[in-house]
Amino acid sequence: MIPKGLLYTKDHEWAKIEGDIAVIGITDHAQNQLGELTFVELPDVGKEVKQKGELAVVESSKAASDVYSPVTGKVVEVNKALQTKPETVNDECYGSGWICKIQITDKGSVQNLIDATQYEIYLKAL
């Protein structure tokens, strides 16, 4: 259920590190808690974010949550498909439901993330 190759935050975001680019999304646990998404407020390309800084907003019919950036860097691409089909996040949160790509400017920030096993243990303890 929790993909092995990704890194996670305790706020239920995931990051897939590809060189100095991190692909960002929210976890299955997060999408499940929110229910069917009705809107994703994507960041502007070029926005500089700090780790744990506000990155995006995911909204369902009865809740809205901030998505915090797992890494420090600059937004280089956003998943525009979510503008018309936000429910993709529910259907494929680790795949086509990705939110944005960040060029990592502080490699150290990646060290703070947890791996799939640690995230699984964390979830079980919730």
Residues at the contact surface with other proteins, assessed by CB under 8 A:
38-39, 41, 59-64, 66
- Of the pair 81, 121, the CB lying nearest other proteins is at 81
Shortest Å, Cβ 61 to other proteins = 8
- Of the pair 45, 64, the CB lying nearest other proteins is at 64
Whole-angstrom distance, CA of residue 96 vs CA of residue 122: 25
Asked if 57 and 67 count as a contact pair (C-beta separation under 8 A), the reply is yes
Shortest Å, Cβ 96 to other proteins = 23
Shortest Å, Cβ 103 to other proteins = 21
Whole-angstrom distance, CA of residue 23 vs CA of residue 107: 14
Residue 67 parent element (H or E): strand 64-68
- Of the pair 19, 46, the CB lying nearest other proteins is at 46
- Of the pair 4, 62, the CB lying nearest other proteins is at 62
Edge-to-edge strand list for the sheet holding 37-41: 37-41, 54-60, 64-68
